[in-house]
Structure 1
Amino acid sequence: MADVDIKKPESGQSFDASSGSVEVEIEWEDDTEGFDFSDLDNARNYDIVLMTGTNDDIETVKQLGSNIDNEERSFTAEIDNDLGPNGYYFFQIYTSFPNDGYTIHYTNRFRLTGMSGGTSTFTFNDGLFSHSGDQPSPQWNAGGTALKVETESFSLTYTAQSGWVRYAPMQPNPTFPVTGTNYSHRHETSDYTAYTTISHFPDAWTTTTAERTYSINSRENTAPVNSYPTYWYPPSSRVSSATLSDAKKKRWL
């Protein structure tokens, strides 16, 4: 999936704003593996927002860049030291695409020191500024954008693909009558390794299957309904009372 591949800031970096402000460099690349709506050549612009919080509770601190040209691959964010308290922050990169498509990516968390701002101006818990760890997972929405797919992508075996969007061939039209008595795999299978810990990012977002080039005719099934159990019946009609044999009756007398 061709998309935003963030290079800076790096994980664990710390920036000192005690002089009044600090500049943080943000860099990203176009991950050109595969081709779909999120190729950055198709992007309209970027918006960059300073964030804080946990991966489940992401809070906005301040928008620092808007309508950045899609040809840009970097942005210098200037952070005033009265913007918030010392703690951990990260950036959100919101990429806009035609027809309401978008992707949202988050940079690594970094630490700001020398900050003099308080937390009273924020509506969220100030404890969110102390959360470190991996950044939140990216999000995307193709919107009404039609995916541009090279037809060769559907002929590439699934196991040879490594992009975020995978491609599958068209579902074949079954022949009539069916004469086979044994089955075989039409496509090779692949080995897999099970995750031993929670994965931060998925290996693939989705699979796109080639559209059918044939039509399917169907009609109503006019076969009569069979008896049990394809229609409702009272349970009492299937239950009989328990009885004791003569031999067992003697045991209770």
Structure 2
Amino acid sequence: MTPASVGFQCPECVREGHKSVRQPKRFTGARVGFRALPVTYSLMAVNVLVWLSIMVTGGASSRIADFIAIRLQGYCFTPDGGFVVPQSVCRASGYTWMPGVDDGAVWQVLTSTFTHVAILHLAVNMFSLYVLGSFLEPIVGRLRFLAFYLISGLAGSALVVWASAPAGSTVGASGAIFGLLGVLVVLFVRAGQSLSPLLPILLINAAITFFGPGISWQGHVGGFVGGLVVAGIFTSLRADRKAPLQWAALGGFTLLLLAMVSVRMVLF
């Protein structure tokens, strides 16, 4: 017999009772799985490993950081620093050309979202990722959470390419993390919850974005808007039978972001 709040129950009765209890579902329609956070921890691990690779290859002067940070305009790398000259002149002089998105280094729109140089920058972003991932990954599911993170980061990079200085470089997971904040806002609204608990967090992050020194407001704003869009797609098409439509719409949004980057490359 199994102890209960009132008396005892037979094991068969308990099993039958569990079968008849309706399981909670996510906003997207899939069942909630209260497991570990494999995607959150994996994303954190990738960010930390990239940071370690940068630290052991020179830190702020690491060529790895130069290669995977997002910049529109490439530059000529020399032992004494770097300078902007035509690529042909750089190579003819025996120096190394560090490509930008304009040179075809499209991978930077994604790799930059896993790149950190300062330990404080990494620590703040990983703590934020852990907090948001602990809440969102069990609710939206592993694949959806990964999609939210990556596409939000891509949206942040797309605005960086359009609105940042061509010769400047941008790194950090902040765009993807701001996208997760945007997802959180949409989920609160769709669930009919008040945004009051989120307002202090949103206001603080807005202040940091627009008034903090050395902050890429382009990455933050682009990521936040990207998070709003992808969460809106999934919550609008939330039934299980509409999953193909969800992914198709998400793929279309991804292609739109890549097209934005491509157009900027042509115009530059």
Same fold (TM over 0.5): no
User: Which structure has greater strand proportion?
Assistant: 1
Normalising by the smaller structure, the TM-score range is under 0.3
Larger radius of gyration: 1
TM normalised by structure 2 equals 0.24
Q: TM-score under structure 1 normalisation? A: 0.24
Which of structures 1 and 2 has the larger relative contact order (alpha carbons within 8 angstroms, sep 6+)? Answer: 2
